[in-house]
Structures are given as structure tokens and as C-alpha cells.
Amino acid sequence: MLFRIFAVHITLGTRMGNVFRASIFLALFTLFSAHAAEDARLAVVERLYQDYTWETGPRISKRTPFLNEKSSVLTKYLTQSLARLLLEDRKCAERTREICQLDFSPIWNSQDPEGAKFRVVGIGPGNAISVSIVYPGQKSFTLAFDVVHTDDGWRINDIHSPAPEWSLRKILLKN
């Protein structure tokens, strides 16, 4: 009798142990999956700033500024629709030889980003990635990058600032 009770205890204990281990595994998997998804959302904005930090240095570079990049480069960071709006604005400026809608670099919130420092802060509501930017001798300000998941991965669908208030998409959609 004692042997049977012991055997039942071991069997239940093993089953309970398996359930416990499976529960722990699922919890950790969910945690790491959520962290990986967060990292993927942050990565597109981090990569944009890493690739174009040189814009904040002296203007001697022979590299192409972000706003002058071709479509295939823009779509590594932006949604197709936002890239198309940027390209349309550029074509307008080339055709008219005037500023059309965009007269500043939205990733730096400035016409002259020299000396800017940035820090990708994190994810806010609605997949908005917050980036803190500070220029020498000035207070920092925050830009929000709305990211969406596309067939090509996470892409920036809009950039906006709370103060002064603007949205890149709204600026580019003005007639």
C-alpha cells in the first residue's frame, strides 16, 4: 500500500513537474518574444539614426543625406506610402526649384542638424518610438516615430513632434 501511494506521488509529482516546467517555458518564451518584438520595433529607428548620425557633423561628407536618398534606400526605414510622399515632395522641389512642403530634416527636426545628439528612449502608446534629441546649448526635445509592421518588417509610417506640433505625413499631404 505504501508503495502504491509512493508510486502515485511520484507519477503525479512528475506530471506536475512537467506542467510546471512547461508553464515556466511558456512564460519565458512569451517574455522573450515580447522583448524581441519590442527590439524589432526599436531597431528600424535605431538603424536610421546610426546610418545618418554623420549628418550632425561638419558638412564635408560626400554621403547622401537621408532626405535625398533614392526610393530603395528610403523604404529600408519608411513605409512605401511615406517614402512615396517624400519622393513626391522632392520632385516638386526639383520641378519648381522652390521649397514645396518640407523645408527641414524631420529626423533631426532642424534645417541644420550639426551638433545634435540623440537617444532612442523607448516605445510609447501605439508603437510610437520616442527619440530624445538635444542640440548644443539647448533643451532636449522628443520626436515620435510611428512604426507599423509591413511585409518587409517594421517601418516608420510617420514622424511627429508634440512641440512645436507637426506630423511629417500631414506636412507632405498639404496641397
End-to-end CA distance of the chain: 87
Q: How many domains are contained in the chain?
A: 1
Query: 92 in a domain, yes or no?
Result: yes
Query: 55 in a domain, yes or no?
Result: yes
Residue 11 has pLDDT above 90, yes or no: no
CA distances from 122 to 21, 127, 152 (A): 32, 10, 22
pTM of the predicted model as reported, rounded to 2 decimal places: 0.77
* Pairing of the two strands 141-150 and 153-162: antiparallel
Residue 3 has pLDDT above 60, yes or no: no
Query: 11 in a domain, yes or no?
Result: no
Query: 122 in a domain, yes or no?
Result: yes
Q: Which among 28, 35, 49 has a CA at the least distance from the CA of 123? A: 35
The whole-number pLDDT of residue 59 equals 72
Angle subtended at Cα 77 by Cα 74 and Cα 83, rounded to the nearest 5 degrees: 40
pLDDT tens digits for 102-131? 999 999 999 999 999 999 999 988 889 999
pLDDT tens digits for 35-89? 445 688 999 999 999 999 999 988 767 899 999 999 999 999 999 999 999 999 9
Return the CA Rg of the chain: 24
Query: 12 in a domain, yes or no?
Result: no
Query: 71 in a domain, yes or no?
Result: yes
**CATH (domain of 133):** 3.10.450
Query: 45 in a domain, yes or no?
Result: yes
What range does the domain containing 121 cover?
37-173
Query: 41 in a domain, yes or no?
Result: yes
